[in-house]
Every structure is written in structure tokens, then in C-alpha cells.
Amino acid sequence: MSAGQIAAPHWRLGTPIVVGLVVGAFAFGGLAGFSLPRAAGSSHVDAAAGSAAGAVIPGVAVNNMSDAADRAFAGLSAGAVIPGVAVNNMSDAADRAFAGLAATDHERAENTFTKWITTPPAMAGVVGGDVGAGSYAGEILKYTPAATTVIEALYHFNGSKHSFTALVHVEQTGLKAVIIGVVTEGWLKGNMVQGEYTQITCVQAPSSTSGTCFQGTLDIMRGSKSKD
């Protein structure tokens, strides 16, 4: 048989080999940066995903749903603990954000006061805020004047909603003061308090004090009560 009569070999590839070559081609294309044309309508999906990904909700961590969380929702029981997924992954702040409510600070009871000295060491005044509108009374226990005056006192808040007594430590520099202390009686007893005041003049103060008043806040820190 002449060379011209030699038939070209006829190659037949089995189905498994063809499948293997196709899969290999896709893998190589992915590594090399090639991709197939997108399916119709995929651009709309990308646009929707992009707008959602760009949204930032106060109190919600970016990428709140991690890969580990995805695995959890793929079939693990609700009680399972998964590395990389925080317990209570949906925070209270996130719950409020998704409900359309503004995140608010419920960690403190916020109270206001305006007080003045009547007959030392007694004090009187008015209160407001979470305790409700009401009256203030106080007693100065210790007074140490200096560049920063230090005062120990009892503050009594008698509001229309709540009442409490706090033992406080005050440090006043100039016309400004900071307050720390603890609730000793009444509402939220045992919790810490913190606040501040500014020295002002007001008509309620007796003339003997030149109208000197002190206006400020005293907040109770919920959950700060020491464990017995």
C-alpha cells in the first residue's frame, strides 16, 4: 500500500475523557481570567446585589452573614456553635434597624436636676427626666474647697414616676463639676450613677447665695449593680 493510500487514523474518545477535557478547560479558563458570556438577565441580579451590598445599617456589622453563618443555615441545628459565627449573630441593634426603629440607648435612666443651697448643708430643687417631674432634696456631708473642690453628698430625687437616693462624690473645677456615686435607696438601688452640673444663677435660689444654682444630669447606669 502506497503512502498516499494510508488512511488517516480515526480517533474516538470515550465520554469520560470528553467530560474530563471540558471540565479541565473551564478550570483553566477560570485561572487565566477568562469567562463565558453572562446569561441574559444576570446584570439585573448584579445591580440588585450591588445596591444591597452598599447599604449600611447602624448597629449592624458589615458582612454580618459570614461564610460560617451560611454553613449554619445550610442544615445545622439551631443550637449548634460554629467557629467564626458570633452567638446571637443578629444583634438587638440590627433587629431595631430592620424593624425601622432608631437605635436608642436603654442602658441608663436619664435624669435632670436644678438645685440650690437653702440653709447649709441642706439643698432643694427640682428634677425631671426618667424619674418624672418632681422635687430634689440634698445634704452636703463633706466639703473640701480647693482649685478642684471635692464634695460628698446625698441626692434625693422625688419624681412623679420614680424616687431614689444616691450617695455621690462631686469634683468641681470652676463652674463645672463631674459626679459619680451609687443608688442607696429606692428605684434601681445598687446601680452606679454618673453625671455633671454647671453652676448658674436662678431666681429660685435665696438671695443669701446670690442666686447661685447648679443645673445638670444624674444618670443611673442600669446593670451596674454589683453581684452579691
- The domain ranges of the chain are 108-221
What pLDDT is attached to residue 92? 52
Query: pLDDT tens digits, residue range 5-43?
Result: 444 444 444 544 444 544 454 444 444 444 444 444 443
CA 23/CA 126 separation, integer angstroms: 80
pLDDT confidence bin for 226, thresholds 50/70/90: confident
Give the least confident one: 11-20, 52-61, 188-197: 52-61
More confident residue, 49 or 202: 202
Query: pLDDT tens digits, residue range 119-166?
Result: 999 999 999 999 999 999 999 999 999 999 999 999 999 999 999 999
What pLDDT is attached to residue 106? 60
Residue 214 near residue 178 (C-beta atoms within 8 A): no
Instruction: Please give the DSSP secondary-structure letter assigned to residue 207.
Output: G
108-221 sits in which CATH class?
A: mainly beta
Q: Does the pTM exceed 0.75?
A: no
Please determine, for residue 179, whether its predicted confidence score (pLDDT) is greater than 60.
Answer: yes
Query: pLDDT tens digits, residue range 67-78?
Result: 444 444 344 344
Distance of alpha carbon 69 from the chain centroid: 22
Looking at the chain, which runs of residues are DSSP E strands?
Answer: 108-109, 111-117, 122-129, 134-144, 148-159, 163-173, 176-186, 192-201, 212-221
